[in-house]
Amino acid sequence: MKLTGKVIVVTGGAHGIGAAMLRRFHRDEPRALVVADRDLPAAEALAKELGGLAVACDVSRERDIIALVERATKEYGAIDLFVSNAGIAVGGGVDVPDDEWRRIIDINVMAHVWAARAVLPAMVARGSGYLLATASAAGLLSMVGSAPYSVTKHAAVALAEWIAITYGDKGIKVSCLCPLYVNTDLLKGALNDAAGASIKASGEVIEPAKVADAVVDAIDAERFLILPHPEVATYFQRKAGDYDRWLAGMRKLHAVK
């Protein structure tokens, strides 16, 4: 899919990977860019820079996502590309309190469900539309030190797969973004605390702009899996090829965390 002339919505769009994607999309001259974020002042600043629309949106609430889709559609017409990008990280294991589990599940999983629920009917009716879910390499592999992040990112990948399988013959395109380590506030916070040894052992920390370039290339090719860190494909193949050996390697990382 070409982005020129398209209506694009990005959640978590005011910072990090979301902001980088919007800036990169802008270069391809879309018809409209919608910056959705719970940080409305930052969203408004970016929207002003790009000539887009800022919408306050807390993706942990389905009603906010419904309102976002309704606002974007009212302003610009049919949404061509919806990027469900907002996400959080929580460090810790199964002992993480239930309210934190519920919060990360709502943001990292249910927000993708609610977004699909909001945009798919219109997309299917017209026979075209694109969904892009920001997951993580943790959704293909795992995250040492964070059970909530690992579990929810696996779920995000699984949902994107299911939508691609179920709606792919109805004109719906789906991509799933699975980067390793990216220089964002997310990495500097809970993920950095959880990931320590993994970051040192498993790959380069890249800039959000590089992720955005990979996203545009994948959309152009209508490719499902977006891997800004190519080595993730190798790790994923090794995991599938010998699960027990892969688990042993991950335990070694955990031991030096």
> Annotated catalytic sites, by residue?
149
Q: Are strands 205-206 and 53-56 parallel, antiparallel or unpaired?
A: unpaired
**To 5 degrees, how large is the angle CA 133–CA 112–CA 21?**
35
Tell me the two tokens of residue 164.
């691609």
Rounded CA separation 80/99 (Å): 35
Query: Which stretches does DSSP call E strand in the chain?
Result: 7-11, 32-37, 53-56, 81-84, 129-134, 172-177, 181-182, 205-206, 225-226
What end-to-end distance do the CA atoms of the chain give, in Å?
Answer: 42
SS3 82: strand
Rounded CA separation 134/21 (Å): 11
